[in-house]
Amino acid sequence: MKNSNNSITEKPNSQLIIAYIENNNLTKKEFCQQCKISISTFYKIINGKNINLISLFKIAKIMNVPVHMFFK
């Protein structure tokens, strides 16, 4: 799941993130601003490309869910 440079190799459940954005009437940009991540980082996470663990923790904190929820 994690390699030596804090990147995650397993694709997270992006539907959980998208549902949160839709249910809270946020734009992707607003969501990224709340999470303090860039829009490019957001798309990397959604597409499962080179995901940084720290970014995923930031998202989990805003969504008020444990990080492991992204991998169920």
Here the CATH number for the domain that contains residue 25 is 1.10.260.40
Determine contact, residues 31/21, Cβ cutoff 8 Å. Answer: yes
1, part of any domain? no
Total length of the chain:
72
In angstroms, rounded to a whole number, what is the distance separating the alpha carbons of residues 66 and 72?
11
Query: What's the pLDDT at 21?
Result: 98
* Domain residue limits at 48: 7-67
15, part of any domain? yes
Query: What's the pLDDT at 7?
Result: 61
72, part of any domain? no
30, part of any domain? yes
Give me the number of domains the chain comprises: 1
Question: pTM for this one?
Answer: 0.83
Tokens encoding 3: 């390699």
Task: Give the residue from 29, 56, 53, 54 showing the smallest Cα distance to 40.
Answer: 29
